[in-house]
Amino acid sequence: MHRRSVAVFDRFLSALATILDKTEAHCEAKKIKPEVILAARLFPDMFPFTRQVQLACDFAARGTARLAGAEPKGFPDTETSFAELKTRIAAARGYMAGFDANQLSAEREVHFKAGGQDMVLKGDDFLSFYALPQFFFHLTTAYDILRHNGVDLGKRDYMGAP
């Protein structure tokens, strides 16, 4: 379970932090105010870039805690800069690293709320059908916002390839 959850979340959050570095450099080179990118959306009814990053971090960190049978830690949504978003990513990664691989269970019942409803799934189903899809949805949307705004990124950046 650890390899299918924490290892995946960690790799892609690391890639996201690197993408933020590239985005910051893009803003400097093109003389774009960072606030423009941080507030960018793909469509008016979607969350802005900053919220997409926050949610990717949340689904990774909270998903890991739930798989370990722990009460998920909350992170305040106060980030207003690339540096603060990178700190949030580092905090989520550090939080996940605090869970031992033996704590995560595919068989544990995971209780959570989704869309205002109480949900219960076995750990394996929670990871496969909820936590990972939610994580990748917000990660991909963040990536797409940046590409839409001209940041020079490719699949290797998204995948965290060396």
User: Any idea which residue has 């990717």 for tokens?
Assistant: 56
Distance of CA 42 to the CA centre of its chain: 17
What was the pLDDT predicted at 145?
98
Amino acid letter, residue 47: F
The pLDDT > 70 percentage for the chain reads 99
The pLDDT > 90 percentage for the chain reads 99
What was the pLDDT predicted at 111?
96
Q: Summarize pLDDT for 138-147 with one digit per residue, the tens.
A: 999 999 999 9
Average pLDDT over residues 53-69: 98
| DSSP-assigned beta bridge partners for residue 109 | 122
All domains of the chain in start order, with CATH: 6-159 (1.20.120.450)
* Separation CA 24–CA 71 (nearest Å): 34
Q: What is the DSSP letter of 104?
A: -
Run of H or E including 119 = strand 117-122
**pLDDT averaged over the chain?**
97
What was the pLDDT predicted at 161?
77
Average pLDDT over residues 35-43: 98
At 1, the pLDDT band (50, 70, 90 cuts) reads very high
Name the token pair of 68: 């370990």
Residue 139's contacts (CB-CB under 8 Å, 6 or more residues apart) are 12, 16, 52, 56
* Separation CA 115–CA 45 (nearest Å): 17
Q: Summarize pLDDT for 80-137 with one digit per residue, the tens.
A: 999 999 999 999 999 999 999 999 999 999 999 999 999 999 999 999 999 999 999 9
pTM above 0.75, yes or no: yes
Name the token pair of 79: 């980030």
- Rg (alpha carbons) of the chain, rounded to whole number: 16
Amino acid letter, residue 143: Y
